[in-house]
Amino acid sequence: MADNQKKGNAFTNNPIVKAVGTQKIVVVLVLIILLAFFSAASSAFRQYSTILSIMDYTYYLAFLGIGVTFCLITGGVDLSIGTGLVCYGLIGGYLITHNNIPVIVGILVTLLVGVLMGTVNGLIVSLGGLPPFLATLCTMMIARGLGSLATSGLSVNWPPTAAENGWARMLFKIEVGGVKLPIGFIWVLLFAVIMSIVLNKTKPGRYIIAIGSNKEATRLSGVNVVKYQTLAYVFSGFFTGLAAIAYANTFQALAPGTGAGMELNAIGGAIIGGTSMSGGMGSIAGTILGVFIMSVLQTGLPNIGLQANYQQIIIGMVLILAVLVDVFKNKKLA
């Protein structure tokens, strides 16, 4: 009877390949090729500070990516994470700089606003039955407006390292003996491991995959699909909050009305990492790898002398490629 089951080739049947996944191995290879290429093409790329710059990019993109991976796995998407990042960071930062609340409270407020917006997104999608694309497109605009409203249109700087309440920046970068260390990566790894376990080894994760695979079947199996579909967006909101904190404490300045476009980098990272736009499939490790590709491109392309507009074109093309691979993969599965 085993002959009825589809067989892969020698490569895909290799136990190591099977355990890690073909796509992730390809992504790692691409990553190595990219790093090698940029190192060869630009001497500036071959220095320690490049690692710091790549990491600066990775922090917020990775957090956005981890969150949105859950939405993608349910078969949805969260477009509000880009403007959401700016909105939540603005609200938290404004309270810190203008109302003098402690930074830790500002961080908690940022996360809380993220969770609230995530819940709103989730309920509109799960309870309201709006297509995720549409629902989060609306909240994308709402987040954009809210950010401006909350700060009266002011741009906001989170406290700089030198300030007495500038400790939050040291969550991401510290200087030890004259060497700057990108310790923010510890947070990324920590949350990646936790969310990987949540996704693969707990009920919420299992049901989120199940919903993305076949929502009706999941519902008929007695699973509260409204709850778990909402949860995916709550995760996304929470991680957008984390991303806001990471962004504000690496790049300092947040300007109202901006942020649109970041979501595409994060979603792109997730898709490059093997998460499917059509749901049911995805991994946190893949997303982190995919996000790495995005940040290596963002850091590397300017170094080889490409103007901003060319960078966007190249990143756009990379995304098309990733989506094509995704579509092709789904065809094969069907």
**Measured from the CB atom, is 29 or 42 closer to another protein?**
42
Cβ-based neighbours of 199, under 8 Å, separated by 6 or more: 69, 70, 73, 205, 208, 209, 282, 283, 284
302 binds another protein (CB under 8 A): yes
Give the count of alpha carbons within 13 A of 31, CB side only: 21
154 binds another protein (CB under 8 A): yes
Estimate to the nearest angstrom the gap between the alpha carbon of 90 and the chain centroid. 19
Least Å from the CB of residue 263 to another protein:
12
**Measured from the CB atom, is 29 or 317 closer to another protein?**
317
**Measured from the CB atom, is 66 or 95 closer to another protein?**
95
Least Å from the CB of residue 110 to another protein:
13
**Measured from the CB atom, is 67 or 118 closer to another protein?**
118
CB 257 within 8 A of CB 143: no
Binding to another protein, residues 16-75 (CB under 8 A): 42-45, 47, 49-50, 52-53, 56-57, 60
Quick note: the x/- pattern for another protein over 212-251, rule CB under 8 A, is: xxx-xxx-xxxx-----------------------x--xx
Looking at the chain, how many residues does it have?
Answer: 334
Q: Give the angle 300-301-304 at the CA atoms, nearest 5°.
A: 90
| 15, 152, 164, 177: residue in contact with another protein (rule CB under 8 A) | 152
**Measured from the CB atom, is 25 or 302 closer to another protein?**
302
Binding to another protein, residues 263-282 (CB under 8 A): 280-281
Return the range that interacts with another protein (CB under 8 A); candidates 145-153, 232-240, 283-291, 319-327.
Answer: 145-153
Return the range that interacts with another protein (CB under 8 A); candidates 27-35, 140-148, 236-244, 321-329.
Answer: 140-148
Segment (H or E) for 292: helix 284-303
CB 86 within 8 A of CB 256: yes
Q: What are phi and psi of 80, to 5 degrees?
A: -85, 0
| 27, 35, 146, 270: residue in contact with another protein (rule CB under 8 A) | 146
Q: What are phi and psi of 306, to 5 degrees?
A: -90, 135
- Residue 192's alpha-carbon distances to 69, 94, 131, 203, 289, in angstroms, are 11, 29, 28, 17, 11
Binding to another protein, residues 95-124 (CB under 8 A): 95, 97-99, 113, 116-117, 119-120, 123-124
| 37, 171, 174, 180: residue in contact with another protein (rule CB under 8 A) | 180
Report the alpha-carbon distance of residue 117 to residue 111 in Å, rounded. Answer: 10
What is 99-133 written as a DSSP string?
S---HHHHHHHHHHHHHHHHHHHHHHHHTT---HH
Q: Work out the end-to-end distance of the chain between its first and last CA atoms, rounded to an integer number of angstroms.
A: 20
Binding to another protein, residues 312-331 (CB under 8 A): 312
14 binds another protein (CB under 8 A): no
| 40, 127, 193, 314: residue in contact with another protein (rule CB under 8 A) | 127
